[in-house]
Amino acid sequence: MTIPAAALSCAAIALAAAPACADSFVLVHGAWQGEWAWDAVTPLLEAEGHAVTAVALKGLGSRAGEASPEIGPEDHIADILAAIEAAAPPVILVAFSYGGRPATGAWDRARDRIAHAVWVEAPAPLSDGGLRADDRSLAFVVMMYPDIADTGMMPPPPTAREEPGRPLTPMPLKALYGAIPIAAPLPGETPATYVFAEDSSLPALRQLGEALAERRGWTLRSVPGGHDVPTGAPGALAAILLEVAAATD
pLDDT of residue 5: 38
C-alpha dihedral, 26 to 31 to 37 to 38, nearest 10°: -20
Q: How many other β-carbons are positioned within 10 Å of the β-carbon of residue 125?
A: 23
Map 100-147 to HEC letters: HHHHHHHHHHCHHHEEEEEEECCCCCCCCCEECCCHHHHHHHHHHCHH
Task: Report how far apart, in Å, the C-alpha atoms of 39 and of each of 90, 186, 234 are.
Answer: 22, 29, 9
Residue spans of the chain under pLDDT 50: 1-19
pLDDT of residue 92: 98
Q: Report the Cα 218 to chain-centroid distance in Å.
A: 15
pLDDT of residue 21: 61
Q: What is the pLDDT of residues 147-164, one digit of tens each?
A: 999 999 999 998 888 888
Domains, the chain, with CATH or none: 22-157+165-248 (3.40.50.1820)
Q: What is the pLDDT of residues 156-186, one digit of tens each?
A: 998 888 888 888 999 999 999 999 999 999 9
Sign of CA dihedral 79, 249, 231, 38: negative
pLDDT of residue 163: 82
pLDDT of residue 18: 31
Q: How many other β-carbons are positioned within 10 Å of the β-carbon of residue 40?
A: 16
